[in-house]
Structure 1
């Protein structure tokens, strides 16, 4: 079997250039990379992972930590991140925290500290100061998605602003009776997105001097079934129902749309509904939503981590606090309209 030296000789480059080209690192011209790939193909060269690991102390493997993978948000995040990593020649090891505190302790205090993982990318998980200290002690960089992480780089949206923007859209259409369906704070202890989005709703309502009616407030599990149930309670009261509902997640909004239709209400003529996410089914439902560009957040976080791992600067591996707040976009579709005149 051909070795790296033979590939370098045939391509007319150094062995270091061959290594960089085949590992997906930058600082290699397209022309040189193409010569290396052609030479490797002709010689049937397969890079040795063990040799690379011994030479660099790296395994080209990133540990991804997240609460669960069963929802659209998390599965979309993971799929995007894995694509970025694979395209750069990196593997990914997935760790979920679905089994509670003991599983989390083993992941952060043991598994992530082993040599098989070069770096860590967290999704909606905020490492504690102790967990981050352990990663720093073994020189593992970390990048997070979902909210600020003291002492580490992170990418997120302003959830309070997202809630405010969604509610202001309804107010701009003349709605004054606006309900809200969010999630229980217990369901999200890491970054309190449900609380932040509710605060944005309250900011917009208070700024417009509108009443916040407790009868039109509900907490769900951020899923279609709970959105359906709560919206049906709001809209089923013939004497006290809202003209619009702000749903703090698109999947909740899908349930609300179905509840309205089951009650014989027209969306948006009788009830306007807005969400947050820009879920892949949002266009199908005609849902007006505040897009948080889930694939974009994931891609930026993965690229930032890859830039660290591919850097020739040894200081790049050092964690430091740097928060990136990504832009929001209101996408208006057919689920919202001006309030109907009485």
Structure 2
């Protein structure tokens, strides 16, 4: 009597189709990341071979846990929340779950990286808006999982970000194009962020680059450095207005910082933009609501791009090492040519 034929498994289908098991899993489960033609071919092969997907096989093809960890300082800000939404929206298409790790201070960071290698609970990690030093990088590498960074670069991992130098250059160049020559800057420094990582350096560099292109020397008295907080920005704007020769325009490192500056200007009895122009970076929802000129970026788009890169890595298909997303000038009602005296 002939022996019973062994059941067909996912590996058999993958070999016949000439693709990886993850691709077969995504094709047969209707998940993201497989072209229509490839999906039809795999479905036809699976039907011909009599293969039926089991939940266990699908889970194993996606990885040991079916989860991706997201490491970030907090979720309270619009930026971080939007990045997480973008990441989750893409991973959901592949039936992957998201596990958030919040490290709001140095103590939390130390505990997270100290314990990380001994409690692997995810198949990959996305690091959002924070630096990773050499010891922390080794802890991540000890997990033997894929790592992707958003809003920054952690060598040697793939990353998604904007060009903060270019964004700031665009902002100051816009003010210069309107005829402003005495331009203030409110620098914002995020807490618990390594100075070599923080976007304040790049955004300040972009401001100075635009001034240099216009043949203008930086004036240190026009630069105010504050914490990343609108209330602090409001106080910084008051200091700028108290100068013997106040600026006719202000570049703020973010829209939230710009909103704080606008409040002070209006409380001083001045008009925006008739008396002083203000521009920020981000295109925060408040920017449209307050008619703020800004340099727009899409944190949700950055998160989605990171999610797509992660899916490609998890599937074994490879991915581009990095992606720098564009920023766009969005003129609104907070900038205008300087008032004539």
Q: TM-score scaled by structure 2?
A: 0.81
- Residue 52 (structure 1) shift: 4.6
CA offsets 1:182-226 (integer angstroms, 9 cap, x no match):
123765316221011111111222332324333322122223212
Distance 1:73 1:113 in 2: 31
Distance 2:62 2:340 in 1: 70
| Closer/same/farther in 2, CA of residues 262 and 47 from structure 1, 3 Å limit | farther
Distance 2:25 2:210 in 1: 57
The counterpart of 2:179, out of the listed 158, 168, 174, is 174
Partner of 1:204: 210
- Residue 30 (structure 1) shift: 8.7
For the Cα contact (< 8 Å) 2:282–2:294, is it kept in 1? yes
- Residue 53 (structure 1) shift: 4.4
Q: 1:132 is paired with a residue of what secondary structure?
A: helix
- Residue 105 (structure 1) shift: 3.4
Partner of 1:127: 132
| Closer/same/farther in 2, CA of residues 175 and 117 from structure 1, 3 Å limit | same
Distance 2:158 2:76 in 1: 26
Distance 2:68 2:104 in 1: 19
- Residue 116 (structure 1) shift: 2.2
- Residue 136 (structure 1) shift: 3.5
Partner of 2:144: 139
CA offsets 1:152-180 (integer angstroms, 9 cap, x no match):
10111121121111111111111111100
Q: TM-score scaled by structure 1?
A: 0.80
- Could you say what the CA RMSD is over the residues aligned between the two structures, in angstroms? 3.1
For the Cα contact (< 8 Å) 2:179–2:338, is it kept in 1? yes
Q: How many pairs does the alignment contain? A: 312
Partner of 2:29: 22
For the Cα contact (< 8 Å) 2:116–2:139, is it kept in 1? no
Q: After the TM superposition, which of the residue ranges 302-311 and 326-335 deviates more from structure 2?
A: 302-311
2:292 aligned with 1:287: yes
The counterpart of 1:95, out of the listed 90, 101, 121, is 101
- Residue 117 (structure 1) shift: 0.1
| Closer/same/farther in 2, CA of residues 167 and 113 from structure 1, 3 Å limit | farther
The counterpart of 1:153, out of the listed 149, 155, 158, is 158
Distance 2:61 2:89 in 1: 26
Q: 1:110 is paired with a residue of what secondary structure?
A: helix
Partner of 2:273: 268
Partner of 2:48: none
Distance 2:301 2:63 in 1: 31
Q: After the TM superposition, which of the residue ranges 220-229 and 196-205 deviates more from structure 2?
A: 220-229
| Structure 1 portions without partners, runs of 5+ | 6-13, 37-45
2:68 aligned with 1:58: no
Q: After the TM superposition, which of the residue ranges 108-117 and 190-199 deviates more from structure 2?
A: 108-117
For the Cα contact (< 8 Å) 1:63–1:112, is it kept in 2? no
Distance 2:64 2:300 in 1: 27
| Closer/same/farther in 2, CA of residues 110 and 23 from structure 1, 3 Å limit | farther
- Residue 289 (structure 1) shift: 0.8
- Residue 88 (structure 1) shift: 2.4
Distance 1:268 1:245 in 2: 10
For the Cα contact (< 8 Å) 2:262–2:278, is it kept in 1? yes
